[in-house]
């Protein structure tokens, strides 16, 4: 208890006395790492006789059908000792009996190809018990400390969150990153080694071309090989497997309990973005530091250069195989993709590729969260009230979605100005783009059919009133 009080006191003193993130990281990391090293080691208690009907995925630690009291007697006095038993009350159900803190703890045990008692799944019972003992020990010895881990996070100390709040920073481009790989200069011109994704994201610089779209991190449970520290609270990430979560878009590594406190400031790393199509819209534009998806800009630029007068533009389908070629070109080459007339003389191929991009988005341009509100707005009979309602819902769209929709509507308005040649008015374009830009959250054919006329109407309103709504 004395050790833990000193721990809490000293951590507060160090955090307040220094602004050097590496000193803070080293201290907090070693603190929890030491606790993991002190955790009891698992001790398998083997059953002295062979047990009939022992499940093939359990070993000699299985003791058959015994009571809790019998398990307690077998494990008494041996910290970290464990056995497996079959429940007397529920035959066919298995229990892990584990000795910790001078008492026997019983956990319902499951197997689906891997062993588990909670969220984590293990290849062996030994690994499960090892991880469990580490977690129990740390949570018992440092519960107060763990509760305070998120109170003064390293995330704030390095200044990344502050820069984002001021909206004057951006992630360095790949070229600048390479040129400054050796060091990044802090306010005191002190070189800071570029060692983690957190420090990488701390290397932000003011730039007038930065598009400061908010984006939540895409955290997924992750198993770290070797010791790792949380990039939010700077504490050691304890356990054998699934010690924390990693953002699959930017690589941020944090405790699962810390992930709920991380702000929506993900800066996607281009190396982690494997494709252009089927990629989340905000993730793509932040990774490329563009205002809109490059597919939208490049395709619209090409269509406006040579296709605005093309009869049936967006209504006439291009050759599917060639549209797939354009998709593959963007996925492979990004903004260097060649969609010129020399390769694709039929402008309907480019129009088809643009529509396919919108259809393939995991979250539509008009998001699932705003879909029902747009439908409600479309059903308002009074034109002025309906227009006002549509405008209010537009304000609820994520910034990158709003900007993409705005740019597309300006383009489609230009298409309608050439109606005499292309025979495409706002109603026709509404029919084409309604189901392309929006779809109901629930995958229901009946809902989709019932909503089609309102989808068409929303797009028609957006085109006709783009100068007012945007």
3-state per-residue secondary structure call for 109-147: EEECCCEECCCCCECCHHHHHHHHHHHHHHHHHCHHHHH
pLDDT in tens, 133-174: 999 998 888 777 677 666 666 665 543 344 344 433 444 344
Least confident of 1-10, 119-128, 192-201: 192-201
Mean pLDDT calculated for residue range 76-82:
92
* pLDDT at 426 (0 to 100): 97
Q: What 3-state class would DSSP assign to 171?
A: strand
| 214 pLDDT tier (thresholds 50, 70, 90) | confident
8 Å CB contact between 82 and 106: no
Q: Going by C-beta distance under 8 Å and a sequence separation of 6 or more, which residues neighbour residue 326?
A: 337, 339, 344, 349, 350, 352, 353
Is the pLDDT higher at 69 or at 235? Answer: 69
The pLDDT of residue 182 is above 50 = no
Look at strands 62-65 and 43-44 and give their pairing: unpaired
Residue with tokens 């002295």: 48
* Interval 204-232 mean pLDDT: 74
Mean pLDDT, residues 413-425: 97
Q: Which of helix, strand or coil describes residue 206?
A: coil
Are 288 and 297 in contact, with CB atoms under 8 Å apart?
no
3-state secondary structure of 81: strand
* Beta-strand runs (E) in 56-102: 62-65, 81-86, 94-100
Kindly tell me if the per-residue pLDDT of 22 is higher than 90: no
Please measure the distance between the N-terminal and C-terminal CA atoms of the chain and give it in whole angstroms: 61
- The pLDDT assigned to 28 comes to 54
The stretch 44-70 carries a mean pLDDT of 93
Average pLDDT estimate for 173-178? 40
Q: Binning pLDDT at 50, 70 and 90, where does residue 186 land? A: very low
* Averaged pLDDT, 368-393: 96
Q: Residue range 103-125: average pLDDT?
A: 94
Tell whether the model's pLDDT for residue 39 goes beyond 50: yes
Q: What is the pLDDT of residue 72?
A: 94
Contact yes or no for 392/281 (Cβ under 8 A):
no
* Ordered structural domains, the chain, with CATH: 43-144 (3.30.505.10), 286-360 (1.10.555.10), 368-468 (1.10.555.10)
Shortest CA distance to 11 belongs to which of 194, 147, 193, 133? 147
pLDDT at 277: 97
The helix (run of H) or strand (run of E) holding residue 380 is none
**Is pLDDT at 270 greater than 90 in this prediction?**
no
Question: Tokens in use for 123?
Answer: 């290849």
Please, which residues bridge with residue 116 across strands?
110
Query: 203-217 burial string, b = 16+ CB within 10 Å, else e?
Result: bbeeeeebbebebeb
Q: Whose CA is closest to 199, among 212, 190, 208, 207?
A: 190
pLDDT band at 189 (very low <50, low <70, confident <90, very high): very low
| Total Cβ atoms within 10 A of residue 255 | 23
Average pLDDT, the chain: 83
Q: How confident is the model at residue 130 (pLDDT cuts 50, 70, 90)?
A: very high
Dihedral pair phi/psi, residue 324, rounded to 5°: -65, -35
Cα separation, 144 vs 254, in Å, equals 19
């Amino acid at each position: 208890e004395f050790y833990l009080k000193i721990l809490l006191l000293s951590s507060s003193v160090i955090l307040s006395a220094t602004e050097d993130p590496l000193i803070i990281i080293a201290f907090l990391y070693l603190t929890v790492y030491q606790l993991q090293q002190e955790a009891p080691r698992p001790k398998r208690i083997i059953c002295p006789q062979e047990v009939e009907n022992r499940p093939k995925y359990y070993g000699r630690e299985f003791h058959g059908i015994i009571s809790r009291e019998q398990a307690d007697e077998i494990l008494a006095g041996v910290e970290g000792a464990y056995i497996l038993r079959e429940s007397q009350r529920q035959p066919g159900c298995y229990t892990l009996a584990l000795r910790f803190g001078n008492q026997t703890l019983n956990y319902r045990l499951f197997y689906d190809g891997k062993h588990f008692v909670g969220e984590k799944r293990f290849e062996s019972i030994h690994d499960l018990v090892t991880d469990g003992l580490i977690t129990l020990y740390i949570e018992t010895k440092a519960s107060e400390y763990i509760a305070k881990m998120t109170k003064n996070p390293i995330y704030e100390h390095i200044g990344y969150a502050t820069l984002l709040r001021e909206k004057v920073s951006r992630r360095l481009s790949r070229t600048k990153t390479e040129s400054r790989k050796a060091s990044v200069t802090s306010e005191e011109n002190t070189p800071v080694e570029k060692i983690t994704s957190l420090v990488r994201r701390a290397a932000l610089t003011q730039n007038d071309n930065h598009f400061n779209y908010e984006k939540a991190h895409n955290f997924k449970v992750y198993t770290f090989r070797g010791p790792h520290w949380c990039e939010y609270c700077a504490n050691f990430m304890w356990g054998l497997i699934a010690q924390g979560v990693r953002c699959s878009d930017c690589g941020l590594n944090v405790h699962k309990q810390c992930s709920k406190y991380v702000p929506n400031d993900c800066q996607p790393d281009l190396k982690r973005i494997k494709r252009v199509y089927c990629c989340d819209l905000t993730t793509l534009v932040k990774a490329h530091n563009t205002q809109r998806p490059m597919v939208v800009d490049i395709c619209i630029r090409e269509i406006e250069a040579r296709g605005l007068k093309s009869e049936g533009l967006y209504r006439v389908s291009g050759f599917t195989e060639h549209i797939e070629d354009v998709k593959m070109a963007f996925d492979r080459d990004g903004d260097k993709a060649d969609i010129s007339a020399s390769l694709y003389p039929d402008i309907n191929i480019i129009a088809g590729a643009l529509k396919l991009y919108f259809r393939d988005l995991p979250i539509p341009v008009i998001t699932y969260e705003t879909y029902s509100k747009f439908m409600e707005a479309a059903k308002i009979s009074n034109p002025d009230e309906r227009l006002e309602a549509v405008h209010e819902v537009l304000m609820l769209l994520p910034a990158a979605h709003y900007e993409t929709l705005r740019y597309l509507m300006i383009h489609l308005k230009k298409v309608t100005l050439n109606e005499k040649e292309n025979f495409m008015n706002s109603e026709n374009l509404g029919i084409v783009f309604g189901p392309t830009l929006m779809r109901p959250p629930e995958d229901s054919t009946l809902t989709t059919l019932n909503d089609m006329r309102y989808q068409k109407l929303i797009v028609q309103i957006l085109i006709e009133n783009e100068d007012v709504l945007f």
